[in-house]
Amino acid sequence: MKTVMAIIKPFKLEEVRDALTGLGVHGMTVTEVKGYGRQKGHTEIYRGAEYAVSFLPKLKLEVAVAESQVASVIEAISTAARTGQIGDGKIFVAPLEQAVRIRTGESGSDAL
Amino acid sequence: MLTTMPRRIVATTLMLTGSALPALADVAPVPNKGDTAWMIVATALVLMMSIPGLALFYGGLVRAKNMLSVLTQVMAIVCLAGLLWVFFGYSLAFTNGGALNDYIGGFSKAFLKGVDPNSVAATFSNKVVIQEYIYIVFQMTFAMITPALIVGAFAERIKFGAVLLFTILWSCLVYYPIAHMVWYWGGPDAIGDAAKAVATAADAAAKTAAQTKLDEVLADAGLIFKWGALDFAGGTVVHINAGIAGLVGCLMLGKRIGYGRELMAPHSLVMTMIGAALLWVGWFGFNAGSALEANGTAVLAFVNTMVATCAGGLSWLIVEWLAKGKPSMLGLVSGVVAGLVAVTPAAGVAGPIGSIVLGLIAGALCFVFVSYVKNAFGYDDTLDVFGIHCVGGILGAILTGILADPSLGGAGIVDYAAKPGEAAAGDFVMATQVLAQLKAVALTLVWSGVGSAILFKVVDLVVGLRVSTENERMGLDIAEHGERAYSL
């Protein structure tokens, strides 16, 4: 099992969700986050006070998937979240040791 | 200017029976129901400016962790100033102060002694009075909002106890004296009656006596009033007064931790917009209510308040758009407030087109002040009390001396002695008027500036002005009040 974590532009969430649902991914966790990569921030001005805001709002998406699905999930997210503009985000993949469905006690890939 | 008057039941009866009809001039005037109704509404509108108007306008501009501290400070000041006004504030502002009458009133109406529902107060028209109770509460709402304006200058770092103690001291030693100096006078009838006595005196001796009496009546007024300065609704008393006190306060408290380095963006400009809009609506009570009657002067003040504010808002918006590249909501509402402040002293004396010019200049000038001048000097006036209220107030006070000119569409000045019993047009000389305005501005700046510096020092020694570094970081809501504005 792997966890696929993707940082995406907020307005791309629905397209990404549709793409993953199409692959048979049954659930995901989404968090509102702030950060920066190559995309620079913006300036906010309140009367005389100017602030350079370098942390931009993004969404962090976490999906747990079986090994066999990793490549297609990465492909689906990449395609759905891409605008071609700077700031589209990144995808990180990490190994996942265990998964448990709390209600039934199922574990491993059965719990995904 | 104020007299307690018994009901004229006897006179009414006589008139009904048609016998022994008293001469019209001798019948003491009674309040007009229209004037009374308007003043009740105007008074409630001015309260709305403070709460929730000013509280939300200020509250939205601070960080979320300090929201409740601002709301609490503003509302507590309103409550405190209201009681002080009844205890002795009204008396100190609006009665004769004997030897100190140029500067402050006395205690003859402390705890509203001698005032009852039939007591009346003078207006700006001969033989027109309003109930003294509504005059007291109308003026009370001004004594409430003025100290509340000051707290914006040192928001996010002052102790709550210091705010309360400062409010008590500042009301007594700065607000009441300035209100007395600017607004205390004998009223049209006192001057008209004394002038009539001079005109109708039978012989030289009687004329001399009557003239002495007229001089006494004219001298029974505050110092700034006698200089001839015009302040229709409180440019000096409210805005310059509070603005300079705020500047002194923010200098004495020092900058907020992290000022100029950390993000201190407003936590809710939505609240700020709601607050500014409530201020605008409430300001009709403030300015048009300052006519003290539901008459032509009131509607002149009403239209001036409307158009100067429109001009102020657009002026700031457009200048900011040109200078900074984007037209901001905060800039728009700041310009609205700058326009309201600037038109306050001019509301009942300028013409509508003059008021538009005033608003246009106010929006641009205050923008330059808070965007460039403040940064150049580096002081931390958190919510720009000085940059908007004092600068806008000074501009308004000076331009009132120009825009009141009848040749510029203004209402000129009124002479109640020239034709006794009538409000005759006085001789308007612009240079003289502007000089009187400048003197009023200078005295207010010095009195409130020096007075506030002394009082902040006293408060610092007694309870301390500033919260601890740890509490400032935590936010005043939790540290000072033990609660949070938002639990999401």
- Give residue B27's pLDDT: 79
User: What domains lie within chain A, and their CATH numbers?
Assistant: 2-111 (3.30.70.120)
CB contact under 8 A, B330 and A48: no
Query: How far is the alpha carbon of B456 from chain A, nearest alpha carbon, in Å?
Result: 26
Residue B394 corresponds to which tokens in the numbers above?
């000074």
Q: What's the pLDDT at B18?
A: 43
Euclidean distance between the first and final Cα of chain B, in Å? 55
Q: Are residues B330 and A44, on separate chains, in Cβ contact within 8 Å?
A: no
Cβ count within 10 A of residue A107: 11
Q: Looking at the domain that runs over B2-19+29-185+221-468, which CATH code has it been given?
A: 1.10.3430.10
Q: Which residues of B365-389 are buried (b: 16+ CB within 10 A; e: fewer)?
A: bbbbbbbeebeeeebbbbbbbbbbb
CB atoms within 10 A of CB B9: 8
Residue of B nearest to A52 (CA): B263
By the 8 A CB rule, do B405 and B412 touch? yes
pLDDT given for residue A39 in this prediction: 82
Give the global pTM. Answer: 0.90
**Half-sphere exposure of residue B339, counting CA atoms within 13 Å on the CB side?**
34
Consecutive 10-residue averages of pLDDT for chain A (112 residues) = 96 96 93 90 89 91 95 97 94 96 94 89
Ranges in chain B, pLDDT < 70: 1-26
pLDDT of residue B25: 53
CB atoms within 10 A of CB B299: 13
Q: Rg of chain B's alpha carbons, rounded to an integer?
A: 23
- Predicted pLDDT at B17: 44
Record: contact A47-B263, CB cut-off 8 A: no
**With an 8 Å Cβ cutoff, are B264 and A49 in contact?**
yes
Domain coordinates of chain B in residue numbers?
Answer: 2-19+29-185+221-468
Please identify among residues 53-82 of chain A the ones whose CB lies closer than 8 Å to any CB of chain B: 53
User: Measured between alpha carbons, how far is residue B304 from residues A25, A64, B287, B347, B476 in Å?
Assistant: 65, 66, 9, 6, 39
Which of A32, A34, A43, A47 is the best substitution to test chain B (most B C-beta atoms within 10 A)? A47
pLDDT single digits (tens) A55-82: 999 999 999 999 999 999 999 999 999 9
Taking CA atoms, what residue in A is nearest to B388? A47
User: What distance in Å separates the CA atoms of residue B243 and residue A101, rounded to the nearest whole number?
Assistant: 63
HSE-CB of B258 using CA atoms within 13 angstroms: 12
A42 vs B contacts (CB less than 8 Å): none
Amino acid identity of A71?
A: A
Taking CA atoms, what residue in A is nearest to B368?
A48
Chain A's closest residue to B334, CA to CA, is A47
